[in-house]
Amino acid sequence: MKNLFLFLTLLVLSVSLTAQESKKTQDTTKVQKLDEVLVKAVRVDATSPITHSNVKKEDLEKRNLGQDIPALLNYLPSVVTSSDAGAGIGYTYLRVRGSDATRINITINGISYNDSESQGTFWVNLGDFASSTQSLQLQRGVGTSTNGSGAFGASLNILTDAVSDETGGEISHSFGSYGTRKHTVKFTTGKINNQFEFAGRLSNIYSDGYVDRAFTDLKSYFLQGSYFDENTLIKALAFGGEEHTYQAWYGLSASELEEDRRQNPYTYDNETDNYWQNHYQLHWNEKLNNRWSTNLGLNYTKGEGYFEQFKDDRDAADYNNLINDGSDVIVRRWLDNHFYVVNGTVTYKENGTEIISGASVSTYKNDHFGELIWGSDLAPNTNINDRYYFSISDKTDWSIFSKVNFRVSSNLKAFIDLQGRFVNYKTVGLTSNRAPIDVDESYKFFNPKLGLTYKINNYHSLYASYAKANKEPNRNDFESNADQVKHETLNDFELGWRFANDKLNFNANVYYMNYKNQLVLTGALDNSGEYLRENIDKSYRLGIEVDANLNISENWILNSNIAISENKINELIIDRDGGLNNFGKTNIAFSPSFISGNSVTYKPNQNLQLALLGKYISSQYLSNTDTEASKIDGYFVSDFNAIYELKMNNIFKSIVFKGLVNNLFSKEYVDRGYTYLNTWSGPTAIEEQGYYPQATINFLIGVTLKF
């Protein structure tokens, strides 16, 4: 890795010093628009009746000092973020409108990133991906039709780096609390003969974590080759890397949190997660004429890894009788998966009408197995690396859609989006608990969406939309409740108002998300640290979101957003201890009723920015029972961000200095946890909780040399 860093550093220097001779000019707007076609089918524009937020590359760069993408999106409306290790690096999480990662659709260049089986998003496998991101769009609610698992709270689509006009590169280093460091080298050849560009990135991020020994070690790469002319853009991309993280999935009990909030109860030296993931994408965008264009996307993802764990005094039956009763064991639980995707779209545009039609087909294959790598008392004829469980999974997912944007009148635009999605999921074998799992389920979904945008004048507009989404259960749902689990349905209604002038951008919207058989988090965890879910017959989320960007003056900018919501289960009935217990109308777990994000930015000149940021999350429940024992307090945290760019006229184009102080006032808080209903005392549930402590005041500083 060190040699690769040195090689890329020398490459950046040599290319940047010799490139002045080969620069040629070209109309870059056309190439940029072809770049954006990669996400055209899953994104919406500013006049769309879809509630959304856009994040540009320069916005990400301000705070990009090693933390994962969820941490960089923390200040968007209705967003809540968290991390196992407490400092925003490693296993990090994003929730929108109370919906967790299994309900947020993620795409990279229009290719689904969610794990097909768990439906979750593992940002730990995308180390430093913000450094290769051109832009993001977060759509709240169902949003427009997208590829992969359905969006039940939000969808986030990522566009990777655009073709660069000029030769250049970056070398950046950052350091901070808890032994955190990030090293990144980037390069681009710029346009070669006005038709080719090659670019790449190599990164290493390491952090000891706020939680004791909860280290994260991420190595990643990004490579891109592009061919383009006036009407064509072909991109080949390879990105991925490896991650090693120490166990912090299960947090701390209340007594452990009180005793030492930074402690880690796990003591085995190699209680670690180890995973390798590589993505290969090919995109071909073709502008046929002024009305017609096409896009083809191909993807192959290879993932492989294991979690190593020490367990003492085990039963022989739990390990396929490879050990004798009472043996201590060390096991590795493996995943070995392949993911293939083909996406295609055709776009027609003329006289204010745009029609985008397309299809997506994906196949996912995964082997789950566990190996015994050590035992204190092995059974006869047992060998190290013998498997004690095995299962295979196969999931196909294909969808077709057609989206139409057209003008009804000079002030009224209409949006119609029709999608059919067809899913088959098969798995057979044993789970890690050696319980049989045998699933063969098919689903056929029709997901219509429609909306209107009315332009009142040059400053004001109104929009209204309706969207329906259906979503299949994930693997964990079948493991825990195979006989009864059902697919879920969401009807999402949105009504919004937008205002924009030279000084102020203001957005306000009301939403009502009505669910049938919503798979809500119960608050409990499985043996891999994943939240368990169960179907709820009827539930809803009702809320209002407001966000504003105000240019107070040339030097001062104010950004503010609030989200107020009611998140309810109409009637919660739990079967425990041989009887049904009716809790009536309760709050949905992990759904705070008030979220706000604010920032004040001061720019004394073009080179310096200072920003004070604040985030407030109200109290929330860890279970759906509304018991006080499962309630965690609200919290308010502030960050301080500074960036200074020193312009240069020699080898370096500029030197950028960045600093970030997180949790400025050193608030001790937990933002997430879990709970188990163990026993009952009359009508009252007795619950046991675990908590994830987040870091107190900490800092990151960095410098970037731009060539």
Evaluate the CA torsion angle 435, 440, 446, 449 in order and state its sign. Answer: positive
What is the chain's mean pLDDT, rounded? 92
The DSSP-derived string for 286-341 is EE-SSSEEEEEEEEEEEEEEEEEEEEEEE-GGGGTTSB-TTEEEEEEEEEEEEEEE
For residue 680, name the pLDDT band (cuts at 50, 70, 90). very low
With a CB cutoff of 8 Å and minimum separation 6, the contacts of 128 are 66, 182, 184, 201, 203, 205, 218, 220
| pLDDT-wise least confident of 470-474, 539-543, 628-632, 702-706 | 628-632
pLDDT of residue 438: 94
Residue 420 pLDDT > 50: yes
CA distance 692 to 211: 9
pLDDT in tens, 548-571: 999 999 999 999 999 999 999 999
Reported as type and span, the H/E element at residue 3 is helix 2-18
Q: What is the pLDDT of residue 18?
A: 39
Q: Which residues contact 248 (CB under 8 A, 6 or more apart)?
A: 84, 85, 86, 90, 91, 209, 211, 214, 264, 692
Number of domains comprising the chain: 1
Q: Which helix (H) or strand (E) holds 11?
A: helix 2-18
Strand partners, 564: 544, 594
Whole-angstrom Cα distance, residue 540 to residue 544? Answer: 14
Q: What is the mean pLDDT of residues 605-611?
A: 95
Mean pLDDT, range 292-320, rounded to an integer: 96
Share of the chain above pLDDT 90, in %: 84
Backbone torsions φ then ψ of 587, nearest 5 degrees: -80, 145
* Contact yes or no for 171/9 (Cβ under 8 A): yes
Token duo for residue 532: 């368990």
pLDDT score, position 2: 46
Domain limits for position 190: 2-706
**Is pLDDT of 404 > 60?**
yes
pLDDT given for residue 4 in this prediction: 43
Mean pLDDT of 384-404: 96
Confidence label for 477 from pLDDT (cuts 50, 70 and 90)? very high
pLDDT number for residue 526: 83
In this prediction, residues 154-170 reach a mean pLDDT of 94
Q: What is the pLDDT of residue 17?
A: 39
pLDDT-derived band at 28 (thresholds 50, 70, 90) equals: low
Do residues 613 and 629 make contact, with C-beta atoms less than 8 angstroms apart? no
Predicted confidence at residue 331, as pLDDT, reads 97
pLDDT at residue 651, as a whole number = 83
Radius of gyration of the chain (CA): 25
Write the Ramachandran bin of 78: left for phi over 0, alpha for psi from -120 to 50, otherwise beta: left
Q: Over 60: is that where the pLDDT of 23 sits?
A: no
Residue 41 has pLDDT above 90, yes or no: no
> What is the CATH classification number for the domain harbouring 513?
2.40.170.20
Average pLDDT of span 291-295? 94
- Looking at residues 451-455, what average pLDDT do you find? 98
Mean pLDDT calculated for residue range 229-249: 95
In the chain, what is the greatest distance between 2 CA atoms, to the nearest angstrom?
82
Q: What does the pLDDT average to over 394-407?
A: 96
Confidence of residue 30 (pLDDT cuts 50, 70, 90): low
